[in-house]
Homo-oligomer: A and B are copies of this chain.
Amino acid sequence: MALGKDYATQECSIASALEVIGERWTLLVIRDAFYGVRRYNDFLVHLGIPRAVLASRLQALTAQGILEKRRYQQSPPRDEYVLTDRGIALWPTLRALGVWGREQLTHRKLRIFRHADCGTELGPFSECPACGTVVAVPDVEIVPGPDLNRDPADPVSRALLKPKRLLQPVEADAA
């Protein structure tokens, strides 16, 4: 990988992790996968990422066992990319990053994460204050926060305005 040459000598699991997910765009691709984005074109319009870079990242993440490439229709052949268990294990990292970004940088509540079972807003570690447990990723509900723009340009962002659970596929109609 791109970062490997130097990071590899560092005896450190953080460095190893960054070798795999530390490249530009990579974590945003994974974030979108949590939000339910699965198709090449949906990643493309939602992220505004160059096509070549997206193809390269999807391939690398698949090779690392973070995403799985899955044929969802035979003809014409179409593939989708979904998170593996290894990918889903990144949720605490993404959550921590998001909390830091909100508290230290944006100070805006763009999205709210709730426990789907009871509707309680989750704490910084994705724990449910009401139930007292860490909520499993498929039981996390994501809803737009008060500071999120309600009229986004691209269809994927529009589809993401509907409350849904993490990992559940978005339905981005042409609209």
B-chain residues with CB within 8 Å of residue A102 when the two chains form the complex: 13
The stretch among A55-63, A75-83, A105-113, A163-171 that forms the contact with chain B is: A105-113
- Given A18-B28, A110-B11, verify A96-B98 contact (CB < 8 Å): no
Given A11-B148, A24-B22, residue A17 in contact with residue B101 (CB < 8 A): yes
- Known contacts A12-B31, A24-B3, A92-B96, A17 near B105 by CB under 8 Å: yes
Q: How many copies does the complex hold?
A: 2
A94: CB under 8 A from chain B? yes
A101 and B9 contacting across the interface, CB-CB below 8 Å: no
Is A133 interfacial (CB-CB < 8 Å)? no
CB pair A12 B100 closer than 8 Å: no
Q: How far is the CA of A6 from the CA of B46 in the complex (A)?
A: 11
Are B13 and A105 neighbours in the complex by a CB distance under 8 Å?
Answer: yes
Distance of A93 Cα from B21 Cα, bound (Å): 13
Interface residues in A70-89 by Cβ distance below 8 A to B read: 86, 89
Q: Mark A86-130, 1 if CB is under 8 A from B, else 0.
A: 100110111111111111111010110000000000001100000
Inter-chain contact B12/A110, CB cutoff 8 Å: yes
* Bound Cα distance A95, B166 (Å): 23
Residue contact B97 to A18, C-beta cutoff 8 Å: yes
A1-37 with Cβ < 8 A to chain B: 3, 6-7, 9-18, 20, 22, 24, 27-28, 31
Q: Which residues of the partner chain B approach A48 to less than 8 Å between Cβ atoms?
A: 6, 9-10
Which residues on the B side are within 8 Å of A89 (C-beta)? Answer: 100, 103-104
List the 6 closest pairs (A to B, CB-CB), nearest first: A17-B101, A13-B101, A93-B96, A13-B102, A92-B96, A16-B101
